[in-house]
């Protein structure tokens, strides 16, 4: 009985938490939204793809989760702040902010965050990619995450970054002019570990370095 109770607790480890996920209509954001909901979180999906975002929420609710959709263009400061305020009016709190699509929300102590998660890319640790602005922006995302982790640690806020390799998301397929299978095949062929082509659901369950920020504040 104790074992069953422990497993049940692990399966609902986000029970009662509220999470905003930007870019949640497909790819990594969609998979994360579904995963968080399975763990008991109230998920707020934001995106500019209204139909797809609403569909993700309907399916999540149909699976027994709690999810709602807010239209939000992360290139607009007003949209991002509006999404946060709309969430606060609906749920009264915000525990997890997953900046999967660009924007980093300004921290305000009264929001009582638990966690901020940013999506970067494998490009953040490489210098050989042909698109310089993209590579530079992903290095910047990692630097921002490190600084934010140190700055917000005093408030008990954890800030982490997930840096996935290329996966067959709709965005990647369009950018490369390839279909899903072709992208997966290309990634697998370039991987040291065969049969390891990542899918969005794999990224949503990625393992991060867990050291309380030690390596960030003590680089030597």
pLDDT tens, position by position, 47-67? 999 999 999 999 999 999 999
By the 8 A CB rule, do 75 and 58 touch?
A: no
Residue 207 has pLDDT above 50, yes or no: no
What contacts 24+ positions apart, CB below 8 Å, involve 31-34? 31/199, 31/200, 31/201, 31/203, 31/204, 32/98, 32/100, 32/203, 32/204, 33/60, 33/67, 34/59, 34/60, 34/63, 34/65, 34/204
Residue 94 has pLDDT above 90, yes or no: yes
Angle, CA of 70, 73 and 77, to the nearest 5°: 105
How far the first Cα of the chain sits from its last, in Å, is: 47
Is there a catalytic annotation at residue 155?
A: no
Residue 107 confidence class, pLDDT cut points 50, 70, 90 = low
pTM here is 0.75
Of the residues 69, 107, 134, 214, which is catalytic? 134
Of the candidates 22, 73, 72, 71, the one whose C-alpha atom is nearest the C-alpha of residue 43 is 22
Q: Is 205 exposed, middle or buried (0-12, 13-18, 19+ CB in 10 A)?
A: exposed
The percent of residues in the chain predicted with pLDDT above 90, rounded, is: 35
Q: What is the distance between the alpha carbons of residues 182 and 34, in angstroms, rounded to a whole number? A: 25
Q: What is the distance between the alpha carbons of residues 185 and 216, in angstroms, rounded to a whole number? A: 35
Q: What is the distance between the alpha carbons of residues 192 and 186, in angstroms, rounded to a whole number? A: 12
Q: What is the mean pLDDT of residues 37-49?
A: 96
Q: What is the mean pLDDT of residues 127-144?
A: 78
The pLDDT value given to residue 163:
79
Residue 204 confidence class, pLDDT cut points 50, 70, 90 = very low
The pLDDT value given to residue 153:
84
The pLDDT value given to residue 61:
97
Q: In order of start, what are the domains of the chain with their CATH numbers?
A: 11-99 (3.40.50.720), 115-211 (3.40.50.720)
Q: What is the mean pLDDT of residues 28-32?
A: 90
Instruction: Please state, rounded to an integer, the average pLDDT across all residues of the chain.
Output: 78
Residue 149 confidence class, pLDDT cut points 50, 70, 90 = confident
Residue-wise pLDDT tens digits, 161-202:
887 777 767 777 777 788 878 877 776 665 544 444 455 555
Residue 114 confidence class, pLDDT cut points 50, 70, 90 = confident
């Amino acid at each position: 009985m104790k074992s069953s109770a422990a497993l049940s607790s692990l399966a609902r480890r986000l029970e009662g938490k509220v999470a905003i996920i930007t870019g949640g209509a497909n790819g990594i954001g969609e998979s994360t939204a579904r995963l968080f909901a399975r763990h008991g979180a109230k998920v707020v999906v934001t995106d500019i793809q209204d139909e797809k975002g609403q569909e993700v929420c309907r399916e999540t609710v149909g699976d027994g989760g709690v999810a709602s959709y807010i239209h939000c263009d992360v290139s607009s400061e007003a949209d991002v702040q509006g999404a946060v305020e709309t969430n606060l009016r609906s749920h009264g709190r915000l525990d997890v902010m997953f900046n999967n699509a660009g924007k980093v929300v300004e921290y305000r102590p009264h929001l009582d965050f638990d966690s901020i998660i940013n999506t970067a890319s494998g490009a953040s640790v490489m210098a050989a990619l042909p698109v310089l602005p993209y590579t530079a922006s992903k290095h910047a995302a990692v630097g921002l995450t490190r600084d934010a982790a140190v700055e917000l640690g005093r408030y008990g806020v954890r800030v982490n970054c997930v840096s996935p390799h290329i996966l067959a998301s709709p965005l990647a397929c369009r950018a490369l002019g390839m279909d899903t299978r072709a992208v997966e095949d290309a990634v697998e062929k370039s991987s040291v570990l065969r049969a390891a082509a990542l899918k969005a659901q794999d990224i949503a369950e990625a393992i991060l370095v867990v050291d309380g920020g030690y390596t960030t504040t003590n680089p030597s």
